[in-house]
């Protein structure tokens, strides 16, 4: 149980285009999901907290107009990188909290990540 | 704000031996959770072990155990009988104990562990 998927696993796009990354909780409902960015051999940097049915909460320094987050259902959150540039190339990871178990265990379940390369 | 410090960027251990990864944190909270996550070369984050701050007993999961020193704000991970599959980046993480949605994980910088045969 507690599986989180991400799609695509990798994507290459041209500078100036937009890219959408999906994060799905496959066997549980997740009111809250999180989006992280990770550079090689570095830690995970929280970008935003995604809440179903409401606006995402962005961390300081993260451009909300550039990284659009939509959490339209209890099992799906999407991150859209708009007008992507080479500096947006990175590994993007999502995580999700199981609505049933989270109040007790507070565990986040992570997706496998998406590698974005902007040419 | 909470901070998590992992002072060992890289470590190596011989197969079957024991290794300890260090983690310290800073918080004014009294109730919180601490985690160790493993990120192997596949980059899938895997929960290794969890510790609840109000529990004095150190958590253990098979070959993995922690030394939780609340007063010292220290949370080290001990891996016994190291295996080649333990090669990964290990992250220490902190989360406040608040009964609400949106609890954030605060990660340390990570320690790359290499298990040698």
A32 touches chain B (CB under 8 A): yes
Sorting pLDDT into bands at 50, 70 and 90, what band is A114? very high
Quick one: pLDDT at residue A102? 72
Give contacts of B91 with chain A, Cβ < 8 Å: 43-44
Pairing status of strand B10-14 against strand B111-116: parallel
A104 touches chain B (CB under 8 A): no
Q: Which secondary structure element, helix H or strand E, spans residue A49, and what is its range? A: strand A44-51
Q: What digits encode the pLDDT tens for the residues A89-108?
A: 999 999 998 888 777 777 88
Q: Which chain B residue is nearest to residue A95, measuring alpha carbons? A: B45
For chain B, list residues with pLDDT below 70. Answer: 98-102
B11 touches chain A (CB under 8 A): no
Quick one: pLDDT at residue B99? 59
Quick one: pLDDT at residue B1? 78
**Are A44 and B107 a contacting pair at CB < 8 A?**
yes
Q: Which chain A residue is nearest to residue B46, measuring alpha carbons? A: A110
B69: its two tokens: 């020193």
Average pLDDT, rounded, for chain A: 93
Measured distance CA(B25)–CA(B83) in Å, rounded: 28
A51 touches chain B (CB under 8 A): yes
| CA separation, residue A90 to residues A37, A39, A43, A105, B32 (Å) | 7, 6, 12, 30, 30
Give contacts of A42 with chain B, Cβ < 8 Å: 109-110
Task: Calculate the CA dihedral of residues A69, A28, B88, B61 and round it to 10 degrees.
Answer: 140
Asked if pLDDT for residue A8 goes beyond 70, the answer is yes
Nearest to A4 by CA among A28, A36, A26, A30: A26
B1 touches chain A (CB under 8 A): no
Q: What digits encode the pLDDT tens for the residues A60-81?
A: 999 999 999 999 899 999 999 9
Measured distance CA(A26)–CA(A23) in Å, rounded: 9
Q: Which chain A residue is nearest to residue B4, measuring alpha carbons? A: A43
Instruction: Give yes or no for a contact between B18 and B80, defined as CB atoms under 8 angstroms apart.
Output: yes
């Amino acid at each position: 149980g507690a599986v989180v998927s991400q799609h695509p696993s990798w994507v290459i796009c041209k500078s100036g285009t937009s890219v959408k990354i999906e994060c799905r909780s496959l066997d549980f409902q997740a009111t809250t999901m999180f989006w992280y960015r990770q550079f090689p051999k570095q830690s995970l940097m929280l970008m935003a907290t995604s809440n179903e049915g409401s606006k995402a909460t962005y961390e300081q320094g993260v451009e909300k107009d550039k990284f659009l987050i939509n959490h339209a259902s209890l099992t799906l959150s999407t991150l859209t990188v708009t007008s992507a540039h080479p500096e947006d190339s990175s590994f993007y990871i999502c995580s999700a909290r199981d609505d049933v178990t989270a109040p007790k265990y507070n565990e986040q379940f992570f997706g496998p990540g998406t590698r974005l390369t902007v040419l | 704000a909470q901070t998590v410090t992992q002072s060992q960027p890289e470590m190596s251990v011989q197969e079957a031996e024991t290794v300890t990864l260090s983690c310290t944190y800073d918080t004014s909270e009294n109730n919180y959770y601490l985690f160790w996550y493993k990120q192997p070369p596949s980059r899938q984050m895997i929960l290794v072990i969890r510790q609840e701050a109000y529990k004095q007993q150190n958590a253990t999961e098979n070959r993995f155990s922690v030394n939780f020193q609340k007063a010292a704000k220290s949370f080290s991970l001990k891996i016994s009988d190291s295996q080649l599959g333990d090669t990964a980046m290990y992250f220490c993480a902190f989360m406040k104990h608040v009964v609400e949605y949106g609890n954030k994980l605060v990660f340390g910088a990570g320690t790359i562990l290499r298990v040698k045969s």
